[in-house]
Amino acid sequence: MKILLTGANGMVGSALSKVLAMSSSHITLATGRGPCRLPPSLLSSQLTYLELELTSPKEVLHAVQSFVPDIIIHAAAMTQVDDCELNKEICFSVNVDATSLLIAAASQVRSRFCYLSTDFVFDGNSGPYKEEDHAAPINFYGKTKKIAEDILTASSLSWSIARTVLLYGKADQITRSNFIYWVKDNLEAGKKIRVVNDQLRTPTYIPDFVDGIMKITESGAEGIYHIAGERVMTPYEMAIVVAEYLQLDKTLISPVDASTFTQPGKRPLKTGFRIEKAKRDLGYSPISFKSSLAQIF
């Protein structure tokens, strides 16, 4: 299968690139903004890298028509909630306009399309959510992701949407740090941290999300799939488990309400996902939070 991957320099895209680089079943064109930040060892005839500006109609159409992918996995996005709230024009261009250009180009060559999305398309009033639950985002980031979802679902393409929740995993020279490392680094430095205890999530281990995306891709599955962890946790509960696992001082961690922090982008309180559909249709099976820590550390 020929796969065009966007966002290859990002957290999810780089993890996907590693899996695709080891697959003899696929030929992948990994794309990203700016120079390649993937390890040179990943690049071969199976996986090549193209610097691609997704907001350029000419560049996007040329890349898609030249490569003619069987499927486009669209992992590129502006994901920092507060940055999106403060820079709405840029956020809309990256998250909506670029997706529209890719969908239009995919229509030219009849590619399938897998779009990566988020729990922030929901308002957080009644999570955990199933795929068919009503989406009503409360911040600009979530709104742009929902608009992009709607553009895709209204297209004539064969499409799938993989939504996920609060990604975490092993940090390396490619991926930026994430919540797990923020907790670890602060506690190791003896610093007190305040962690939200009134936001519910189903934290998702990055390799599990990648596995779900690959299952969607290789099975030809269509529709929306919630790909997440199975356990509902607050960030505070996550931090306590990390501290206990690493034998760090958990008394440095204080639980607080989200209202403690002033942030430009409002966060939904109760999200998290029901993953029965992914388990049933895809054979998706995430590992436990504690087991993931054993892999990370």
Q: What is the pLDDT of residues 189-231, one digit of tens each?
A: 999 999 999 999 999 999 999 999 999 999 999 999 999 999 9
Say yes or no: 47 and 193 in one domain: no
Domains held by the chain: number: 2
The band of 69, judged by pLDDT with boundaries at 50, 70 and 90, is very high
Q: Which two tokens stand for residue 254?
A: 């204080």
Confidence at residue 107, expressed as pLDDT on a 0 to 100 scale: 98
In-domain check, residue 280: no
Name, in order, each residue with C-beta under 8 angstroms of 198's C-beta and a sequence gap of 6 or more: 234, 257, 258, 269
Task: For CA atoms 119, 165, 139, 260, give the dihedral sign.
Answer: positive
Say yes or no: 154 and 54 in one domain: yes
For residues 250-274, average pLDDT: 96
The band of 177, judged by pLDDT with boundaries at 50, 70 and 90, is confident
Q: Which two tokens stand for residue 83?
A: 């940055």
- Cα(211)–Cα(1) distance, rounded to whole angstroms? 17
CATH of the domain at 73: 3.40.50.720
* Full residue range of the structural domain in which residue 256 is found: 168-201+231-272+287-296
The band of 175, judged by pLDDT with boundaries at 50, 70 and 90, is low
Confidence at residue 172, expressed as pLDDT on a 0 to 100 scale: 72
In-domain check, residue 257: yes
Does this model's pTM top 0.75? yes
Say yes or no: 75 and 116 in one domain: yes
Q: Which two tokens stand for residue 105?
A: 């180009």
For residues 234-252, average pLDDT: 98
